[in-house]
Amino acid sequence: MKIEEALHMVGGAGENSYASNSRLQEKAILRTKDIVEKALTNIYGEVVPESLVVADLGCSSGPNAFLVISQIMGAVIGSKAKEIMFLLNDLPGNDFNTIFQSLSGYEKKFKKEKGDQVLPYYVAGVPGSFYGRLFPANSLHFAHSSYSLMWLSQAPVGLESGGVPLNKGNIYISKTSPPIVSRLYLQQFNRDFSTFLKLRSQELINGGQMVLSFLGRKSSDPSEAEVCHLWGLVAQALNSMVHEGLLKEEKVDTFNMPFYGASTDEVKQVIQSEGSFYLDQMQILESNWDPFDDSINEDQQVFDNVKSGENVAKCIRAVLEPLIVGHFGEAIVDQVFERYAKNVAMHLLKEKTKHVVFILALKTKKVKN
Amino acid sequence: MKIEEALHMVGGAGENSYASNSRLQEKAILRTKDIVEKALTNIYGEVVPESLVVADLGCSSGPNAFLVISQIMGAVIGSKAKEIMFLLNDLPGNDFNTIFQSLSGYEKKFKKEKGDQVLPYYVAGVPGSFYGRLFPANSLHFAHSSYSLMWLSQAPVGLESGGVPLNKGNIYISKTSPPIVSRLYLQQFNRDFSTFLKLRSQELINGGQMVLSFLGRKSSDPSEAEVCHLWGLVAQALNSMVHEGLLKEEKVDTFNMPFYGASTDEVKQVIQSEGSFYLDQMQILESNWDPFDDSINEDQQVFDNVKSGENVAKCIRAVLEPLIVGHFGEAIVDQVFERYAKNVAMHLLKEKTKHVVFILALKTKKVKN
């Protein structure tokens, strides 16, 4: 199954849906507010589009898709914009129907909150991978992407070469992975992020801006990244099921996350060598694994590790379930995430690991004819 | 329930879906080919958009949404267009997920048929009523709408005034309707079609064109329209269920189709008084009720009236089911359409009634600053 078909957030609005389990991503969006406002001010400093065209790349379904709309609508109040077109993009398997059917409810909410200041706005859904072209040339003023660019277009090519899985027992880079695994992951990230920048520079007008936030890592060694634990604990759940004869070992050996947590240097390197954008600003945020743990102290204790384990598992399930089901089938999915919740709980006793989120503001460099 | 929530084609790809029962609409799209080509040639005669932006208003889900894309892509081969953006619009209840998930299959098909001549194209889904604004000002080059504009924004206001239903026993204009019923329907059509034209003229660039096809009537008397039979036979099915105590009479009395089959004069009158468009061309087509009956002879015999009754019922069910369910509930829907199929079969013995389809090519009149 192609990643483009398998990778999407859990649809609908049920208990396991992304819509109900996306607080982590919500927090990241809220924390980009100032950067988004500055980017929009910059756009209006250079060009004066009466109709501002904004793309949200990897919009998902559920409240976060609307949070982005709401944030941008708030940011342009008082500017020269007269109307806004929002182009909400995600992979074709994303639940666009749920977004579209919830729009009128959100519209009422905006109008109640912001009254007459709300500009006329239009919404379209754009299905497709952002590693391909999505929009006509020079048609966007502002592109936004939150919690999406750590997803690769595919698991690195070469991890399964000649029928021999190189990353046995793992589903992502780990301390036990041979060095070539990290190299293949980095190569895939470089290709994908570079493609992303090139395509967006074609779609953005001269003077257009982007604000991107995605998971990264603080360490230069990719096997020491915080996300290695995140996926390592999923691998641990899968391996325990292999051990008990519930899953075939080769199924785990051939499953590799289409995901990469880059370092700041790796990100800057791609931006520079691709060459279409200036990096205007880069911030690093940290966010507790448990989306409901808002404590900001540096202390290494998690208050209730069992509850936090369950919270993390729910949040990861809303994102990972379609990929797990695509590779392993429907039957095992409940068990995987039950075991995962316990593994996370155990891990949090040892270390209050955090997500590392990069926020980038980028400006088009090109000079157009 | 608001019409905007209740009116949509049956989703998915199952036996009763619109996707499987839309041959009638397919035939109409195929018959607009020459007019669409001419309109596109006109656009390129006046403006030279490198990225052609095309809206399909009331796109539905299923193969017809792609047929429009395919037809327009075929028509621009060899023109100055370099890429095309398709904005597929329908009400928020339309099954956009199914469209989006089928896109890659259709893309393969186009490429196989048309080879390297296929221009790069992008697709977005735009949820909302076309009786409201859908797109930024001056953002469209070409708007297309097939088999949609006979749907009103709502059943005429006033048909149920003061708790007394004026159109007892009917669900549309019939010989037994009091004259005020026709007047209220015409007023609603005038308001809606006029709104549609005004909004589209705001969205289209100067020099932009529209091709619209929708059901109309040949007779000047609206109670003699061909569609009166179409809905009259649904009313007959509902009334027979009232008679047998399966449905409450008042439920039927308060159900009125949000639909109007206009005459050519009524259509021209709105275009002229609204004033934003020139009517470039108007054609009238006729299409057998049975979408699988392609015979074009004028003889009044239907070959197999029972089979044709079933075919018509399937086609109408794919369109009408959500409205029936919205008003009467889920339980009765199978019975309504079983009875309807029989009523149609009986009717076809008497008269081989046809759908009357108008095809209009319109050109923006405005002069912009």
CATH H superfamily, domain B3-364:
Vaccinia Virus protein VP39 (3.40.50.150)
Closest CA to A145 of A192, A79, A76, A78: A192
Mean pLDDT score of chain B, rounded to an integer?
83
Q: B83 at the A interface (CB within 8 A)?
A: yes
Phi, psi values for residue A68, rounded to 5°? -65, -45
| Neighbouring residues of A34: CB distance < 8 A, sequence distance ≥ 6 | none
Banded model confidence at residue B19, pLDDT cuts 50, 70, 90 = low
pLDDT digits (tens, 9 = 90+) for B26-40: 777 777 888 888 888
> Containing H/E element for B240?
helix B226-243
Which residues in chain A are contacts of B51 at CB distance < 8 A? 136-139
Share of chain B above pLDDT 70, in %: 87
Decide if A136 and B101 are in contact by the 8 Å CB cutoff. no
Distance between B91 CA and the closest CA of chain A, angstroms: 9
Three-class SS state of A161 = helix
Decide if A122 and B126 are in contact by the 8 Å CB cutoff. yes
pLDDT digits (tens, 9 = 90+) for A100-157: 988 888 888 878 877 777 888 999 999 999 999 999 999 999 999 988 899 999 888 8
Rounded Cα distance between A223 and A218, Å, is 11
DSSP conformational letter for A170: -
Angle at B49 between CA B48 and CA B51, to 5 degrees: 150
Three-class SS state of A130 = coil
Report whether pLDDT(B266) > 60: yes
Q: B95 at the A interface (CB within 8 A)?
A: yes
Q: What is the pLDDT of residue B50?
A: 81
Which residues in chain A are contacts of B120 at CB distance < 8 A? 133
Which residues in chain B are contacts of A125 at CB distance < 8 A? 96, 100, 124-127
Residuewise pLDDT in 10s, chain A (369 residues): 566 665 666 666 676 666 666 666 777 777 788 888 888 887 777 676 788 999 999 988 777 778 888 888 888 877 778 899 999 999 998 889 999 988 888 888 878 877 777 888 999 999 999 999 999 999 999 999 988 899 999 888 888 777 788 888 888 988 888 888 999 999 999 999 999 999 999 999 988 999 999 989 988 888 877 777 778 888 888 888 888 888 888 888 888 888 999 999 999 999 999 999 999 999 898 877 676 666 666 666 666 777 777 887 777 887 788 888 888 888 888 887 888 887 877 777 777 777 788 999 999 986 654
Q: How many CA atoms lie within 13 A of A248 on its CB side?
A: 7
Q: How many CB pairs under 8 A join A and B?
A: 90
Q: What is the pLDDT of residue A137?
A: 93
A355: left (phi over 0), alpha (psi -120 to 50) or beta: beta
Maximal C-alpha separation, chain A: 64
DSSP conformational letter for B162: G
Q: A140 at the B interface (CB within 8 A)?
A: no
Angle at B323 between CA B320 and CA B325, to 5 degrees: 105
Task: Tell me the C-alpha to C-alpha distance, in Å, between residue A74 and each of A43, A111, B221.
Answer: 15, 11, 52
Question: Which of B103, B122, B135 comes nearest A133 by C-beta?
Answer: B122
Closest CA to A84 of A61, A64, A110, A58: A110
Banded model confidence at residue B369, pLDDT cuts 50, 70, 90 = very low
Rounded Cα distance between B333 and B344, Å, is 16
pLDDT digits (tens, 9 = 90+) for B95-148: 899 999 888 888 888 788 777 778 889 999 999 999 999 999 999 999 999 888
> What average pLDDT does the segment B238-266 reach?
87
DSSP conformational letter for A118: P
pLDDT digits (tens, 9 = 90+) for B179-221: 889 999 999 999 999 999 999 999 999 889 999 999 899 888 8
Share of chain B above pLDDT 90, in %: 28
pLDDT digits (tens, 9 = 90+) for B55-108: 999 988 777 778 888 888 888 877 778 899 999 999 998 889 999 988 888 888
